[in-house]
Structure 1
Amino acid sequence: MRLIQLTDCHLHADPLAPSRTGIPHRRLERVVEAAARLRPEAVLVTGDVSQDETAASYALAGQVLARLDCPWFWLPGNHDEPRRMAEYRPCHASLDLGGWRVLLLDTQVVGQAAGELGEARLAGLASRLADDDRPTLVAMHHPPLAVGSAWLDALGLVDAEAFWRTLAGHECVQAVLCGHIHQAFVGHGPGGVPIYGCPSTSDQFLPGSETFAVDEASRPGFRVVDLHGGALATWVERVEP
């Protein structure tokens, strides 16, 4: 089973609108073309699909993602407008990947760049973890740990400690996939659970930066996650913009 993660597309209603280093719509097209060549069984977009929160930006994303020869799914990020997003395509709470499952978490706090799950979402997560002992991936927009950039770490998941307490004792959780950080990243949470960050399909952020900085030398990309039995293999692919 091959799952591909895309993230942080930051599309505008205008497909020619530029970002800091290129044109997000054009870059998404090239990333999707490259991802499709790897023949995934499913594709997941982990938030910030839109930059301007318009219905047209979600329609543009959907038109590009429809070129994939597999099902695709998305969850909201801090830049998204969930109602317009869901009007175009519903946001799922989980994905069934046969011997595996993916739990999709909404970490958005309206009007805030940082994320939070809150008591109700954490209680729902605990219930879902208790219901099924299959190998599980947890996907969310905001990273649940520091990534080493001061400005980004101030905009992460504010209730990360509560998140890890919820995961404690659930050995089915094999990894966490996150967006938001616009860079490849590998870290480990309590108990050694791996956390994987993903390059943006648009601009990349400079790793280790104290203040906001774009990594102009880095290319757009995506993460490949191969699931075999109870084992996971993952790596990042880069795409020429």
Structure 2
Amino acid sequence: MRLIQITDCHLHADPAARSRTGVPHRQFVRVVEEAASWRPDMVLVTGDVSQDETAASYALAERELARLDCPWSWLPGNHDEPARMAECRPFDESVDLGQRRLLLLDTQVPGQTHGALGAARLEALAERLAEDERPTLVAMHHPPVSVGSRWVDALGLVDAEAFWEVLATHERVEAILCGHIHQAFECRRATPHGEVAIYACPATSDQFLPGAETFAVDAAALPGFRVFDLGDALSTRVERVAL
């Protein structure tokens, strides 16, 4: 089973619109094309699909993702308009990955850049974790850990500790997949049941400079995606895409 993660596309209604370092739509198309060549069984987009929150921007994304020869799902990020996004393509709460399952969480706080789950979503997560014995991947937009960049960390998941308290009562969570940080990143966090891996991947749009104290774009870094091969063990790698 091969899962590919794509994130932070920041598309506009106008395909020719520019970002700080390039043209998001052109880069998104190239990333999707390259991801497809890896023959994934599933593609996941972890938020910030749109920059301008327009129906047209989501239609552009859906058109390219529909060309994949596999199922795909997305979840909202802080820049997204969930109602328009869901009108274009409904959200999935979970995805069957054979030996594993994937749970998709919404961490958006309307009108804010930071994320939160809140009591109701955390309670629902606890219930969903108890429903299945298989190893579980959890996907969300905002990372539930510090990534070592002060300005990014200030915009992370504000109730991260409450999230980890839920995970501490369940031994099934194998890894967390997140977006938001526009860079390759991985770490592990100890729980009472062992370590949980946390992974992020490059954006399809602009890349952020790792370790920066204040906002900084990494103009030299290429867009990319993350590949997960889900056999008896999980293995992962980041692939960059030449433009």
Q: TM-score, normalised by structure 2?
A: 0.98
Which residue number in structure 2 is paired with residue 240 of structure 1? 242
Which residue number in structure 2 is paired with residue 211 of structure 1? 214
Which residue number in structure 1 is paired with residue 65 of structure 2? 65
Does residue 220 of structure 1 match 2:223? yes
Which residue number in structure 2 is paired with residue 91 of structure 1? 91
Indicate if the aligned counterparts of 1:164 and 1:190 stay in contact, CA closer than 8 A.
Answer: no
> Cα deviations across residues 201-220 of structure 1 (Å, max 9, x unaligned)?
01000000000000011000
SS in 2 for 1:190: strand
The alpha carbon displacement at 1:197 in A equals 0.8
The alpha carbon displacement at 1:81 in A equals 0.1
Structure 2: distance between partners of 1:189 and 1:88: 36
- Structure 1 ranges of 4+ moved more than 3 A: none
Does residue 49 of structure 1 match 2:52? no
Q: What 5-or-longer segments of structure 1 have no aligned partner?
A: none
Larger deviation, residues 186-195 vs 174-183:
186-195
Structure 1: distance between partners of 2:85 and 2:114: 19
**In the alignment, which of 205, 213, 216 is matched to residue 202 of structure 1?**
205
Aligned residues: 240
Which residue number in structure 2 is paired with residue 149 of structure 1? 149
> Cα deviations across residues 174-231 of structure 1 (Å, max 9, x unaligned)?
10000000000011223221100110001000000000000011000000001003x1
What pairs up with 1:55-204 in 2 under 5 angstroms?
A: 55-191=55-191, 192-204=195-207
Aligned residue identity for 1:79:
H
Structure 1: distance between partners of 2:189 and 2:159: 14
Which residue number in structure 1 is paired with residue 5 of structure 2? 5
Aligned residue identity for 2:188:
H
Indicate if the aligned counterparts of 1:12 and 1:50 stay in contact, CA closer than 8 A.
Answer: yes
SS in 1 for 2:125: helix
The alpha carbon displacement at 1:169 in A equals 3.2
Structure 1: distance between partners of 2:91 and 2:156: 21
SS in 1 for 2:130: helix
Aligned residue identity for 1:101:
R
Paired-residue identity, % = 73
Structure 1: distance between partners of 2:48 and 2:154: 18
